[in-house]
Amino acid sequence: MAQPLLELKNLAFSYGEKVLFKDLCLRLYPGERMGLMGPNGAGKTTLLRLIVGLLSPEAGQIIFEGKPCHTPKDFYYLRRRVGLVFQDPDDQLFCPTVAEDIAFGPLNLGVPREQIPGLVSHVLKMLGLEGFEERVTYRLSGGEKRLVALGTVLAMKPQVLLLDEPTGDLDPLNIEKLIDILKGLSAAQIIVSHDVEFLKEVTDTIYWLEKGVLSPYEKKTSISFYRAF
Amino acid sequence: MRNVLKNCDPRVKILLALGFAVIVALTYSFRVLFLAALFVLVCLSLSGLSLRFVLQRVALVNLFLVLVVFTLPFTTPGTLWFSIGPFKVSHAGASLALLVFLKSNLIVLATVALLYSSSVFELAHALHHLRVPDKLVQLLFFTFRYLHLLEQEFLHLKEAALLRGFRPRTDLFTYRTTAYLVGNLIVRSYDRSQRVYEAMLCRGFQGTFPVYHHFEGQRRDLFLALFGGLYLVLMLLAG
């Protein structure tokens, strides 16, 4: 098989006493769509943050395109190609208007200014939010915010897309829309979600993360949802 | 004619506001202040801001000024103007109080008129162009950004407390609850600001603020720079 686009090798990470992973391995191939489930606090979000270098692992490597990433510069390069959409869209959107927010990433990447308005309207069209350019971001509805937050990352044309609970407060219609958008992308994806039906629809494989161990998701493991009670 | 200032180059606006503030702050001449007032009137009429909005801003500043303006006449030595009981008002004191009052208000009004029409994002970008150190620009931008977040978090917490029947009284319970609210506010806002910063990093943020609507030096900006600059020189000469 081809070289993995992104590989996590023997990753270890803990918050103080609480050990999240000791020896975690994961491979993501170009165009692969992977779902990630697990109980609350299992470290799904942490895993995504480790991948883009917002946290640094205690041991192990993050390998992107065959090159291990260690320095901030490595991760700066990685983040140009690996886009992370945060769980809370309010964390992601900080510009006054939708157009400016979507343009922020591409402008940072040095996309020529003349191409920006076209790119913004293309992204908005993809999201089914035509004509939203001048809308004020903090006055959007929850669902619109979530889609725009996705758009801010899509505008950077990432090779890998990391999504943290993208279905959040979306209504069923918007979830359908999201499924279509994600299926239409060529980027490899890792999607963290609690929504099995959604993951089954979008992703090729679903993994279960619990106690630092990543295993293929099977129906029976869903019992551990209730173990806490 | 309204909203003309909104579309002007923020660099020109920043420089004009800065020049104006320095000249007005350093002057002791009422003639200069008269010219400054004219400048402010023109800027305000070009800014497209509503009178009500401007007055609100100015009222806030004057809240701080009240103390100064009411103590200066009584505390500055000089020839006696009039006295109220044991309190003596000097000529020098009264004119100094008036001077301080006028200066502060004019500077605030000019700054509001010139800069309020630009977004903080644009101003941050303009400061980069004016070669202000990156760290200072980021400080400015994030201070604004996080003040806004702080307010949002505070409103959330307050609502949560009110919804559970909290009513502020003067007892220990109220003080403790308020302390919890403030403590929580600080922790939460810090976390949130951290996440916003991280989200920016994830989108290739490197310390500079690229703007969507790029400034292009237009005739309008040249006019503003030329007339504004000349007027400031005139003010200097009048002083």
pLDDT at A13: 92
* Residue A210 main-chain phi, psi, to 5 deg: -150, 135
**In terms of DSSP bridges, do strands A188-192 and A205-210 run parallel, antiparallel, or are they unpaired?**
unpaired
Residues of chain A with Cβ-Cβ distance to B202 below 8 Å are: 52, 54, 79, 83-84, 86, 153
pLDDT at A220: 46
Number of domains within chain B: 2
Query: Apex CA A56: angle with CA A52 and CA A62, to 5°?
Result: 55
Identify how many contiguous H helices and E strands chain B contains and give both numbers.
8, 2
* Contact state of A54 with B119 under an 8 Å Cβ cutoff: no
Residues of chain A with Cβ-Cβ distance to B198 below 8 Å are: 49, 54, 91
Query: Looking at the domain assignment, is residue B169 inside a domain?
Result: yes
Residues of chain B with Cβ-Cβ distance to A156 below 8 Å are: 203-204
ipTM above 0.85, yes or no: no
Q: Which domains does chain A have, with CATH numbers?
A: 6-217 (3.40.50.300)
Distance (Å, whole) CA A150 – CA A178: 10
CA dihedral A73, A188, A163, A58 (to 10 degrees): -40
Query: Looking at the domain assignment, is residue B143 inside a domain?
Result: yes
* Residue B168 main-chain phi, psi, to 5 deg: -60, 130
pLDDT band with cut points at 50, 70 and 90 for residue A226: very low
B192 and B149 share a domain?
yes
B192 and B87 share a domain?
no
Q: Do A173 and A201 meet the contact criterion of CB atoms below 8 Å apart?
A: no
Q: Closest to A86 (Cβ–Cβ): which among B145, B199, B210?
A: B199
Distance (Å, whole) CA A34 – CA B149: 34
Q: What is the CA radius of gyration of chain B?
A: 23
B121 and B184 share a domain?
no
B61 and B98 share a domain?
yes
Is the per-residue pLDDT at A224 higher than 60?
no
> Would you tell me how many other CB atoms lie within 10 Å of the CB of residue B217?
11
pLDDT band with cut points at 50, 70 and 90 for residue A228: very low
pLDDT digits (tens, 9 = 90+) for A27-57: 999 999 999 999 988 899 999 999 999 989 9
Name residue, tokens 């760290």.
B135
Share of chain A above pLDDT 90, in %: 50
| Average confidence (pLDDT) over A161-190 | 91
Q: Does residue A119 sit at the B interface (CB-CB below 8 Å)?
A: no
Prediction pTM value: 0.73
* Contact state of B202 with A116 under an 8 Å Cβ cutoff: no
Residues of chain A with Cβ-Cβ distance to B188 below 8 Å are: none
Distant-in-sequence, close-in-space partners of B4: CB < 8 Å, separation ≥ 6: B46, B48, B220
Q: Does residue B203 sit at the A interface (CB-CB below 8 Å)?
A: yes
pLDDT at B164: 79
| Average confidence (pLDDT) over A19-27 | 89
B117 and B145 share a domain?
no
- Look at residues A187, A152, A181, A136 and name the one whose alpha carbon lies nearest to residue A32: A187
**In terms of DSSP bridges, do strands A205-210 and A33-37 run parallel, antiparallel, or are they unpaired?**
parallel
B105 and B167 share a domain?
no
B36 and B89 share a domain?
yes
Distance (Å, whole) CA B109 – CA B112: 5
- Look at residues B119, B192, B193 and name the one whose alpha carbon lies nearest to residue A99: B119
Q: Closest to B205 (Cβ–Cβ): which among A83, A108, A116?
A: A108
pLDDT band with cut points at 50, 70 and 90 for residue A159: very high
A192 CA: distance to closest CA in chain B (Å): 17
Is the per-residue pLDDT at A222 higher than 60?
no
pLDDT at A229: 44
Q: Closest to A109 (Cβ–Cβ): which among B199, B201, B204?
A: B204
B73 and B184 share a domain?
no
Query: What are the pLDDT tens digits along chain B (239 aa)?
Result: 556 777 788 888 999 999 999 999 998 888 889 999 999 998 888 888 888 888 888 888 888 888 888 888 888 887 888 888 788 888 888 888 899 999 999 999 999 988 887 877 788 888 888 888 888 888 888 888 778 778 888 888 888 888 777 777 888 888 888 888 888 888 888 888 888 888 888 888 887 777 777 666 678 888 888 888 888 888 888 87
Residues of chain A with Cβ-Cβ distance to B119 below 8 Å are: 96
Average pLDDT in chain A: 88
B150 and B41 share a domain?
no
Range of the domain at B184: 133-202
* Residue to substitute from A46, A56, A104, A138, interface B, most B β-carbons within 10 A: A104
* Residue B48 main-chain phi, psi, to 5 deg: 75, 10
Query: Looking at the domain assignment, is residue B208 inside a domain?
Result: no
Share of chain A above pLDDT 70, in %: 95
B10 CA: distance to closest CA in chain A (Å): 16
Residue ranges of E strands in chain B = 80-84, 87-90
Distance (Å, whole) CA A159 – CA A108: 17
Q: DSSP readout, A90-105? A: HHH--SSBHHHHHHHH
B91 and B11 share a domain?
yes
Distant-in-sequence, close-in-space partners of A53: CB < 8 Å, separation ≥ 6: A62, A69, A72, A74, A75, A78, A79
Residues facing A119 on adjacent strands = none
Q: Do B111 and B100 meet the contact criterion of CB atoms below 8 Å apart?
A: no
Backbone CA torsion sign across A129, A133, A139, A145: positive
Distance (Å, whole) CA A82 – CA A76: 10
Among chain B residues, the shortest Cα distance to A75 is held by: B202
Query: Looking at the domain assignment, is residue B207 inside a domain?
Result: no
Q: CA–CA distance from B61 to each of B54, B66, B103, B140 (Å)?
A: 11, 9, 12, 20
Distant-in-sequence, close-in-space partners of B56: CB < 8 Å, separation ≥ 6: none
pLDDT at B2: 59
* Contact state of B202 with A52 under an 8 Å Cβ cutoff: yes
B95 and B195 share a domain?
no
Segment of A86-95, A145-154, B65-74, B161-170 carrying the highest mean pLDDT: A145-154
Interface size A-B, in CB pairs within 8 Å, comes to: 62
B196 and B227 share a domain?
no
Sheet holding A18-28, edge to edge: A18-28, A6-15, A59-64, A67-69
Q: Do B110 and B14 meet the contact criterion of CB atoms below 8 Å apart?
A: no
Q: Does residue B216 sit at the A interface (CB-CB below 8 Å)?
A: no
Query: Looking at the domain assignment, is residue B29 inside a domain?
Result: yes
